[in-house]
Structure 1
Amino acid sequence: MVLAVTAAAGLAVLAGPSPAAASEVVVYCSVNEDWCREVVTSFERKTGIKALMTRKSAGEVYAQLRAEKSNPKADIWFGGSGDPHLQAAEEGLTEPYKSPELDRLYGWAIRQAEISGYRTVGIYMGALGFGYNKDLLAKRKIAAPACWSDLVKSDFRDEIQIADPNSSGTAYTMLATMVQLMGEDAAFDYLKRLHRNVNQYTKSGAAPAKSAAQGETMLGIAFQHDLLVEAIAGAPVAIVAPCEGTGYEIGSMSLVKGARNPDTAKIFYDWALTPEVQALGAKARNFQIPSNSGAQIPPESPRVDRMKLISYDFARYGSSAERTRLLAKWDHEVKSLSR
């Protein structure tokens, strides 16, 4: 979906590079659409720079940047799981940049920048998990799942949704998490067994959370903050941090190489790293952990300090070769199977 927001005239522009004569910025946005809208509307209100926004999942944006490499249409990529941002950085699809805000970020966000040669930066953190519809579970008299191992039980035949890792950063995080948690052979054996219980591979990583909330599926694998949005809205969704441990994302932001509006893109980039702007996520009911150490962590945010998080190897699993290899293997060995 494309959103164009017209700026009010006469508003001050943030300190930093002077905006281009066109005074606009084109944003590919990979957070939830309500957050995307809040960000671009607030940016225009603050700076007077016109913002054109397209919302797509992280995997879709990465594919689009590759397709548009010789003639980029976007100036900046905001949000979405960090692995495709790292792959885009490795392939030279994004520009290196050190923001004046960099030193104010948490170490995990700075490491994301360092790994990429400063071609991307962390803007939030969120843990992977799953959520189930409590009403459907009770109706079927199924024991509440607490672990990844529970999801391959026959109780959940045709009752699970997860996104396709080719289009979704969320689902690629799950694929890479399983490999790191179990070892590759055991992970693919697990994913094959899970496949029997999957009723749909969605395009968007947040879609399984919505489907579980609406009773369209019993269980959705998603980032816990996406499930939390549905639970806070009143849906009968229980959120689980799996007992074996789980992976996490560092949602990222990148400047597009060869962008038509590089100066306004840098203004947006610097602005998006400030504490005030990082608070916009919670305002739009998105409860990831912000990367600026001066930003308040929303009290609703999942408590990652109480979870068993794996030591996620972002450098390896965000690399072009490893990501391409794992996706091809998943397509061949998992997705192609009948159910």
Structure 2
Amino acid sequence: MRITTKLSAVTVGASLMLTMSACSPPEGQGAATTAPQASGSLNIACSQQEDFCQAITAAFSADTGIDATYVRLGSGEVLARLETTPGEFDVWSGGQAENHLIADDRGFIEPYVSPNASALAAEYNDADGVWSGFYTDSVGFCSNQAELDKLGIDAPTSWDDLLDPALKGTVSMPHPATAGVGYMAMFAVDTLNGGAEDETIDYFTQLNQNVLQYSKSAASGTELAGRGEVAVAISLDSDCVKAKEAGYSDLVTSYPEEGTGYEVGAVSVLKDARNAEGAKAYMDWILSTDAQNLYADVPSYAAPTLADAKQGSSVPDQDAVNKVEWNLQKAADSREALLARFESDVASQSSATE
């Protein structure tokens, strides 16, 4: 079951259009300068939760007049689709920036420097126009407090806490080959190990003893935890808060105190796009303050990347999270080797994949 806020495209589009029409973007941040020049339909590969994809796509269409559709796919799934069906999508919206770098290395990105990118902090922007970031959140542990109480343990506050024998068969982790969050967890541990791949694989081999399920998406794990089917899910902190707000009241978020990974959710224009101008208009739009102000109303519990954008009251404070040094290029370059080792040494020993 996917947690989905029931929003019709018509309702969302109309209401968000009213919201946006009441605001004027700061100088240099309005997307309207390019949007009217685009025409035709826009196909979006969207790597966020379903209700966010639905609402943002509808808002973009309402604001620009460009007919847009989306397919909700995890980052690994987008990379696979770009290989098998090039030209299917015009723009990739969401997913970790390192995955957009991988797509660029494979020749799938058409670099585009949006005029609105200049308002972003350096860590949210690629100077060459491969990607720009429009949201950020962190990897955390999403735990069911009632289940932890039954086991007689506290919410995990370190990666080693997940190896507690008391958690045998009660941990959910997104599969790193299909869900970007799973790979983020792997790369965070690898970074803490100083890039020692064998030590990283040894950790996940041990963790495998406690994993009930390698879920296809990170959000699936928070639902398992919310229903009490597992005690802990490795997830994005934004997804855990979202599930709690949706009614899974026993959920609590904690972080590994030694450091965790974090996501810069990126947008890129795709090569061979059927609607290249529409893709650029979408990138301009989602990097505008008006668009990022909408996150609180969707709602999205990830933080906007523009400093002047509105932030929802329940959005986790990203400044309070201890994060590992996140080398995007190294994360991209290490992905293939780490995933191959995970498949051969960890997943092959388990029947826990969703």
Aligned partners of 2:286 and 2:292 also within 8 Å: yes
Query: Which consecutive unaligned segments of at least 5 residues does structure 1 have?
Result: none
Counterpart CA distance in 2 for 1:296 and 1:167 is 31
Q: 1:133 corresponds to which letter in structure 2?
A: N
Question: Which residue in 2 is equivalent to 1:298?
Answer: 312
Match of 1:247 among 253, 261, 278: 261
> What is the TM-score with the length of structure 1 in the denominator?
0.91
Question: Which residue in 2 is equivalent to 1:323?
Answer: 335
Give 1:248 deviation, angstroms.
0.6
Q: 2:302 corresponds to which letter in structure 1?
A: Q
> What is the TM-score with the length of structure 2 in the denominator?
0.87
1:46/1:210 Cα in 2 relative to 1: closer, same or farther (>3 Å)?
same
Q: 1:157 corresponds to which letter in structure 2?
A: K
Give 1:18 deviation, angstroms.
4.9
- SS of 1:242 mapped into structure 2: coil
- Matched ranges for 1:153-168 at <5 A: 153-168=164-179
Counterpart CA distance in 1 for 2:34 and 2:50 is 27
- SS of 1:131 mapped into structure 2: strand
Give 1:20 deviation, angstroms.
4.7
Aligned partners of 1:282 and 1:298 also within 8 Å: yes
Give 1:19 deviation, angstroms.
4.2
- SS of 2:32 mapped into structure 1: coil
- Matched ranges for 1:1-339 at <5 A: 14-16=32-34, 18-21=36-39, 23-69=40-86, 72-110=87-125, 113-114=126-127, 117-183=128-194, 184=196, 185-235=198-248, 236-319=250-333, 322-338=334-350
Aligned partners of 1:29 and 1:55 also within 8 Å: yes
Q: CA RMSD in A?
A: 2.2
Aligned partners of 1:104 and 1:294 also within 8 Å: no
Give 1:231 deviation, angstroms.
2.0
Counterpart CA distance in 2 for 1:248 and 1:39 is 22
Give 1:91 deviation, angstroms.
1.5
Counterpart CA distance in 2 for 1:269 and 1:243 is 35
How many residue pairs were aligned?
Answer: 327
- SS of 2:51 mapped into structure 1: helix
Aligned partners of 1:76 and 1:256 also within 8 Å: yes
Give 1:242 deviation, angstroms.
1.0
Partner deviation per Cα, 1:42-81 (whole Å, 9 max, x = no partner): 1111111111111111111111112123xx1110010112
Counterpart CA distance in 1 for 2:350 and 2:141 is 24
- SS of 1:80 mapped into structure 2: strand
Give 1:219 deviation, angstroms.
0.8
- SS of 1:271 mapped into structure 2: helix
- SS of 1:206 mapped into structure 2: helix
Give 1:307 deviation, angstroms.
2.0
Give 1:143 deviation, angstroms.
3.3
Partner deviation per Cα, 1:13-51 (whole Å, 9 max, x = no partner): 921165455x21111101111111110111111111111
Aligned partners of 1:83 and 1:169 also within 8 Å: no
Give 1:167 deviation, angstroms.
0.5
Aligned partners of 2:295 and 2:311 also within 8 Å: no
Partner deviation per Cα, 1:80-101 (whole Å, 9 max, x = no partner): 1222111001221011001110
Counterpart CA distance in 2 for 1:74 and 1:144 is 41
Of 254-263 and 322-331, more deviation after overlay is shown by 322-331
Q: Percent sequence identity over matched residues?
A: 31
